[in-house]
Amino acid sequence: MRSAVARRKRGALWDMSLPSANFSEDMFDFFKRWKRRQILERPFPPEWDAIIEKNVALFQTLTPEEQAELRKLVACFIEEKPMEGAGGLEIDDEKRVTIAAQACFLLLHRDTDIYPKLDAIVVYPSAYKTKKRESLGSGVVIEGEQNRLGESWTQGVVVLAWDAVRAGTQTANDGRNVVLHEFAHQLDQEDGTADGAPELDRDQRKGWAEVLGAEYEDLKEHVHVGERADIDEYGATNPAEFFAVVTELFFERGADLKRTHPALYEQFRAFYKQDPASRPPPRSRKERRAHLR
């Protein structure tokens, strides 16, 4: 069940009114909103703006009103979601702001809270190793290690590799962005399961299941027969990965996705309340550097 704050309209994230349906939950929400009001009374640090301008190519595709909304979300995200370095990596403002700005991209215009299930972000300097356990049936189990660039846990943790974060955000038209991918998983996991079906408006559920189900099966068929598809084959792993992979495409190559998969694009446009295909293309890294001089 969605929390009271998640059911309220976007503006209510900063609203100080105190409903009385559930006193303990409402008190928690009240103090959270009170703290956010305190955060937003501070000026947005100009050095944070400079980091976003330099590192987050998609930022310049937003309208001034959307940029202002994103700054609010970023300020609250950084205050509420601790980031920890691993593998010897030190967390500084560049890492906090670069990751927060991309994560909050998924929240623009949406009637939702700021990743309410997320407790912490862990950042490695580069690809890290995790244990892998695979059952082959008949009681045979293979154990080993695999390299990862990121992962999202249902227990409230996102893990990222910093070099993959930088690569993903500075090239904003290749449909690959590890932050968008892993935070899409967080949205998917807010109801407790990772199944490619995030919390949807009631009138969207049927269309979501029909369109994404058909597109997912089509991608699996392409992969099975060895045919190249315009959606990354990693999306055929399972419905959760399909949702995360298409999220990357939606934000970074929205016009292409709309042209080749219009019904799929429309489902994501309705869910994210954004229309990336109508936005100007992001500046190149060279253009952004020239702009900052």
Q: Are strands 128-137 and 150-153 parallel, antiparallel or unpaired?
A: unpaired
Q: Give me the pLDDT at residue 251, please.
A: 97
For residues 44 and 34, what is the distance between their CA atoms, to the nearest angstrom? 18
Q: Are strands 83-85 and 128-137 parallel, antiparallel or unpaired?
A: unpaired
- The CATH class of 22-292 is alpha beta
Instruction: Return mean pLDDT, the chain.
Output: 86
What is the reported pTM?
0.84
pLDDT over threshold 50, residue 4? no
Alpha-carbon distances, residue 140 vs 18, 122, 131, 171 (angstroms): 56, 33, 17, 42
pLDDT tens figures, 133-172: 555 555 555 555 677 888 998 789 999 999 999 999 878 8
For residues 198 and 116, what is the distance between their CA atoms, to the nearest angstrom? 14
Residue spans of the domains in the chain: they are: 22-292
Q: Residue type at 170?
A: Q
Helix (H) or strand (E) holding 141: strand 140-148
For residues 22 and 18, what is the distance between their CA atoms, to the nearest angstrom? 10
